[in-house]
Structure 1
Amino acid sequence: MSSPSVPRPPRRRAEPLQRLLFGGVYGTVLASVLVAALDHDSGRPDPGYDAVWVLLAALASAAAHGYAHAIAHRTAGETTVTAGTARSVLTEWPLVAAVVPTVAVLLGAYGGWWSEDAAIDAALFVNTVALFGWGLWAARVAGRGWVSSCRAGGVDMLLGFFIVGANVLSK
């Protein structure tokens, strides 16, 4: 007589790809909100300083998200930070990578290639297009057709348009 088999927990399908897509959208929205909030009414624009703070905010957000994810899945008996917690924090790299285009555009302004206002406009444009791409890609990965995927990309793109609109209205 054979022993009953123990059911396996459901396997997380394509978790690295899901983390990439999640981090990409989250990081792109974060970068857009941060760059839209740049305002130098009280002083001289410093796009280098702004680029550093956008990057530091992304690093802090990624670390906080990874740590929160780790503690949410911590078992009752665990009392110390484990290698799993560190791994969870490190797997949030897509969030940080998603802000790199914004940081690069701000560093271009710091290098004198364009003004900071032009950099902000360019970053918001690039990030809005990137949001379309993230939505399109996520829908294609989920097995949706091209029309449905473009619709999903368009919905994600609305986040970018919302940020651009809020930026215009607030200034």
Structure 2
Amino acid sequence: MPDRADHARPRGVAPPKRHRPAEQSLFSGIYGLVLASALVAALDATSATADPGPDALWVLLTALAAGAAHGYAHVIAQRAAADGTAPLSRLRLVLAEWPLVAAVLPTVGMLLAAVAGWWTEATAAEVALLFNTAALFGWGTWAARTAGHGWPSSLRAGGLDMLIGLVIIIADALIE
């Protein structure tokens, strides 16, 4: 029977690297989910003139604009810091906001499903709010685990992120 020494890593050998998403990706993903929830909550999906096609397009365009604006804000901050980075590096800063746009795609997909007649826009909006709230819990938990927190702390962080989605759902119910 082998002893524990057989499983020890030889000196000078680094532990295997686990994939760790960049902090920026986690931030942008959570931000995108909150943005998607706020946008879908603002839709007047229950009116007789509900039109999920243009609404889906506006959600996507708003996410693209927010991602570009956030990335460009990083570029401006670099300039203010007199960082002499190359234009390609600045472009990477803007493109690094892709998780924000990716996070709204499920919401856009749900609205497009309403265009296809699979459900009403009101149902799509409700399902998107619930999905985004659950996803906020997942992303918040994942972000905390990535930062090295234990499970109890990570679940609390996920719960706090989920609370943002619940606040949006409650506000949507009270306002409509």
Q: TM-score, normalised by structure 1?
A: 0.85
Give RMSD over aligned pairs. Answer: 2.1
2:113 aligned residue: 108
CA distance 1:109–1:83, change in 2 (3 Å): same
1:6 aligned residue: none
Pairing 1:79-158 to 2, within 5 Å after superposition = 82-158=87-163
**Gaps (5+ residues) in structure 2?**
1-18
- Number of residue-to-residue matches in the alignment: 157
Residue by residue over 1:3-34, the C-alpha shift from the partner in whole angstroms, topping out at 9 and shown as x without a partner, is: xxxxxxxxxxx995211101110000000000
Task: Tell me how far 1:147 sits from its aligned partner.
Answer: 1.2
Task: Tell me how far 1:38 sits from its aligned partner.
Answer: 0.2
The answer as to 2:174 corresponding to 1:165 is no
2:59 aligned residue: 54
CA distance 1:76–1:152, change in 2 (3 Å): closer
Alignment counterpart, residue 24 of structure 1, candidates 29, 38, 41: 29
Answer yes or no: is the 8 Å Cα contact 2:46–2:121 preserved in 1: no
**Gaps (5+ residues) in structure 1?**
1-13
SS in structure 1 at match of 2:56: helix
% identical equivalent positions: 60
Q: Which has the larger radius of gyration?
A: 2
Aligned AA (2:115): Y
SS in structure 1 at match of 2:148: coil
Task: Tell me how far 1:76 sits from its aligned partner.
Answer: 3.7
Q: TM-score, normalised by structure 2?
A: 0.83
Distance in 2 separating the partners of 1:109 and 1:63: 28
Aligned AA (1:84): S
Instruction: Tell me which stretches of 4 or more aligned residues in structure 1 moved more than 6 Å.
Output: none
Task: Tell me how far 1:133 sits from its aligned partner.
Answer: 0.4
1:4 aligned residue: none
Aligned AA (2:116): G
